[in-house]
Every structure is written in C-alpha cells, then in structure tokens.
Amino acid sequence: MKVRPPTATSTLALSSTFLTAAALLLLPALALSGQTKVAENVDHASDVKAEPGQEQAQQIKVEKRTPAYWRVTFDNPPFNIFGPETIPQMEKVVSQIETDPDLRVVVFDSAVPGFFLTHYNFTPPLAESTGLPSGPTGLHPLPDMLVRISKSPVVSIALIRGRATGVGSELALASDMRFASRQKAILSQWEVGAGLVPGGGPMARLPRLMGRGRALEVLLGSDDINGDLAEEYGYVNRSFDDDKLDPFVDALATRISGFDRQAIADTKRLVDFASLPSNPEIGAGWDAFITSVQRPVAQKKIGRLMEMGLQKDPDIETRLGHYTQSLAEN
C-alpha cells in the first residue's frame, strides 16, 4: 500500500481513510428477541480486558427485556462513533445472538441524543484496524457482522433517532426492519463525497429497497435524508412523530417475540432467499472500499474533514452532508 510523504495532513488522512475501512467492519451485528413482560437485565457487550491502569470503555449495552426480546443500545458519546475497540464488543453480541435458543427479536437503538450510529473513529493507530481477521463468513469484520445479522433467524429492528451515517446506515440496512423519527432521524451514505466507496453493502442493499435511480441518488448525492423522505423512498419501513416511535417499535417487537420461534425463522429464511444480496456482492463492495481508501484523493478529503473538526465539532458531525459538499472540486 502506498503512503504519501509523511506530512501532517497526508498522514492523518491516510490513517483516517484506512480506519474508515477497517472500522466499517465494526458494524454492530447484534441480536434480538422477545417474549412477554419486561425483566430488565443489562449486560455490557465486552469481555475484552483493558490494559493495566485503563478501563475498557463500554460502548454497547444489551438489555434483556425478556428471554426473547433484547434491546441493543449504542452508548458512545458524544457522537456514537465506532472504532477498533468496538469490534470485540460487537462480536460478542453477534455470537450471543447466534447461540441464544430463546432469542426472537432484537431492537438496535441509541442512548446518545442526536446520533443513532455514525462513522468510524479515524484517530487510533492504523494497525489497530488493519490487522483484524476475517469473520466466520470469510468476509472482513464489518460486512461479516452485517451479513450475519441479516441471515440470523432472529428478527432485527433498527429504531433510528438521530444520525445513521455510514456504518449506522449500513447497520440499519442490514436489519430486517427500520423505523425512524420523523423529526430527528437523518440517514446518509456520505462516503462518495469524501472520495470513498461505501464498504458495508449499501450498493447491494439499497437498489433492492428503493430501486436503482433512488439508490444512486442516495449514494452519489452523499446528502442527508430525513425521516419523511426515507419513508417515501423505502429507506425505512415507516417514519413516526418522535413521541410515537418508541411505543410502536416496542409493541411490534413484543408482539413478534411472543410468536413461535421456528415459524419466525423459517418465514424469514424464505424472505431472505428472495431478497438478500449474496455474500460475494457484499464482499465486492468491501474490496472496492479498501481500494478507495488508499487513493490520495480520499486521504486528502478525510484529512480535510479532520482539520475542519470531524469527531470534535458538533456542527461538523450534525451537518456532515453540508461539510462533505464543501470538499467538492471547483
């Protein structure tokens, strides 16, 4: 892999783009389920021990509302950014989903106001992300976990309040259903605006949901999509007034969690057969992403966003579509 001369900007940009890639692998592949009444039981999704004198930050919380219905909550303030330290936490949750015999429904949500789940953490050393092994599907960690979420016999629901940008959008697309706040949800695939190719499978998933033209509008426009437009385009199942979102999702998850697990799994498997992209399609997107992050133009653009205040300035994170447009060549 070629690296531009080690100026401050190019070094930062190289690190950030590659981290974007390896980070997308972080995607939360989580889990599901439900049954009847709420028996609150909150687990922290990490069994990774911290270095001496350091405490491992817990970015994911699993609330087992019933044996069959879980809430998986992202809690990494201020922006719900994912990084290499999140991958083992995600992997633990995915494994729990795949092995729990009672699980039927999982709802992904956020504890961070304004942010469902956003882009990768561009600041850790590059080696923390590039050395990650492939997952059980043979794909890299991000597409691996997304594929496993989609193909799990457990029903997955994304409750989107705040920004679902990059990996957040890709996790929502990998989920079986998506419901959004009309007032507070923002979805986007911002990568092309920064000289990147999205790596978590949106090129394979979006055309199946909204058609080719609208998928290209979302991907190539790299702009923010609000809750109402997301519903109109098929990006999400439905959008709700913000105060109606949680009651609806909870009622639906509780209802499904009470149904027969085998009937749920068999029905979902047949729908998957008719609608999901193949693993090679997802893998091709990841390969294109890895190639794109090595290009000098992508390194330059991500470096420029970091200089503007990406990951530090709330205005940059909140209006990422606007600032990505500012990178366009004159």
Name the residue ranges covered by the structural domains of the chain.
Answer: 8-324
Highest CATH level, class, for 8-324? alpha beta
Please give the mean pLDDT across all residues of the chain.
84
Q: 204-248 pLDDT, tens per residue?
A: 999 999 999 999 999 999 999 999 999 999 999 999 999 999 999
Tokens of 92: 């633990």
Percent of the chain with pLDDT over 90: 63
CA 281 to chain centre: 18
CB under 8 Å to 79, separation ≥6 — which residues?
112, 115, 118, 311, 314, 317
HEC string of 117-141 equals: ECCECCCCCCHHHHCCCCCCCCCCH
Which phi and psi angles does 72 have, rounded to 5°? Answer: -110, 115
The predicted pLDDT at position 128 comes to: 66
The pLDDT of residue 52: 41
pLDDT digits (tens, 9 = 90+) for 160-207: 999 999 999 999 999 999 999 999 999 999 999 999 999 899 999 999
**Nearest CA to 145 among 125, 124, 117?**
117
Question: Is residue 94 pLDDT above 90, yes or no?
Answer: no
Q: Give the three-state DSSP class for 319.
A: coil
pLDDT score at 287: 87
pTM for the full model?
Answer: 0.83
pLDDT band (50, 70, 90) for residue 127: low
- Per the CB < 8 A criterion, the answer to whether 166 and 142 are in contact is no
pLDDT digits (tens, 9 = 90+) for 34-75: 333 334 456 655 444 444 444 568 899 999 999 999 999 999
Of the two residues 165 and 85, the one the predictor is more confident about is 165
Which pLDDT belongs to residue 140?
85
Mean predicted confidence (pLDDT) in 104-122: 92
Cβ–Cβ < 8 Å for 116, 110: yes
